[in-house]
Structure 1
């Protein structure tokens, strides 16, 4: 049996420098659950959505997280923070191994436009291997709203998608539906960790390759330790979800060409959809003032 223990930390994260708080939470998680092999935080947990806090990678924040991973002997995904790279700002999540080495970095492919202004999307799908365990993929928040990103990770062999998010809006319930569906249609674990407090509404969740809810957190701070069963992923992909659907095989064997990937078939996107901009308050014609006479 191949299992791997991961703990998501749903942290009460205020705006500002949260590095010390994250270090403390890692210490608590490792002391309470010494069998955990990987720890993961929510999106932008380190500094919040502050472009002024952007820094290069490698840089001070990433080096701090490397020291924590090395100290505790864990894999660490410290959510994400803004990275300055070649004159652009990316929303980036580093992956750090137990030796304190950065294995890879994922730059969020779909910044939450038009709200995440000034952030450039990444151009690569990110997977990495944990030796003797399996392959992990990484996506950040709004990436999951585009099913192509998760299917790409599955096609690259990901058996788990790690998904730090920052959602403090009323669409969290919809996101959870997307996350659960993503796990089932790609037959993998989907680990969706949100912040709480000012930087998120919580409700982190982990879904199995058969679409089952392994755990869904509430709105408060929480440590979420679970065992991921890689044999279940492989068995589900081979035998079907609960012995039934085998969507990855059907997708592989299909001969259909999808119009959204053909420039000639993108006319609806190109001509029918309006510009990507914030929704604004409508302008209304004011009625003439009503004169109220006292009796």
Structure 2
């Protein structure tokens, strides 16, 4: 595998943050996640603050600082939505819906770790820097024997469907679509264009799941007793990046409202319901942080 010193994209940082959470949760062994691949992606990235967090995250989470509480809340949110979406895919993929398309896939590992996807076509769409890196990482021995996805490098704010078709996606076959942690990175018109593309090109029997921020707030700065990443490296490049500026805070039509007008049937689950059902957390402070407006999301399941 080609060594990767840095993935040149701030959006890749968001994908690595989620991968770190899944890797730590899997190692902890207490959250019903068995993901042996996320850690491999993070380690191969060579990005100092994420590789350091992967190595020392368990010790950090054990602290009683404000940062540690919020970090455990974030981990819980990632675990809950991972398990919720895993179950959605397991319930949706079958003889009729034989294709899975993951939009804004980042370092998603479902193609590799969900056995029911073996033999199914799994397409992952993300920006070119992410797919280039992931393609090289998948050649590593750590992924031998794993069912690998079909990677498509495309800007989901642009005309991405032709790339998906080129890769082999069949518009006549029912498809399961997943957009996990994606929509906030799109402007309102870009989100509507993406939803319209899905609505117009999905045959009957298709299903989609969208994670949607009910209230997107830019006030997500984490206050810490001591900047936690300073203990990991003296390299200035190891500073934890501010990713909040990537979120577009603006009025937009909710996916269920938009797709409802396109004739799709929708079910909505509050993020608080998903968290409390799919993550077992007894610490009162962590639960309170996880149920705060910072994680105020909805999960929308749409069926055509």
Instruction: From the two aligned structures, give the one with the greater helix fraction.
Output: 2
TM, length-normalised to structure 1: 0.33
Structure with greater Cα Rg: 1
Instruction: From the two aligned structures, give the one with the greater strand fraction.
Output: 1
Q: Which has the higher contact order (CA 8 A, sep 6+)?
A: 2
TM, length-normalised to structure 2: 0.33
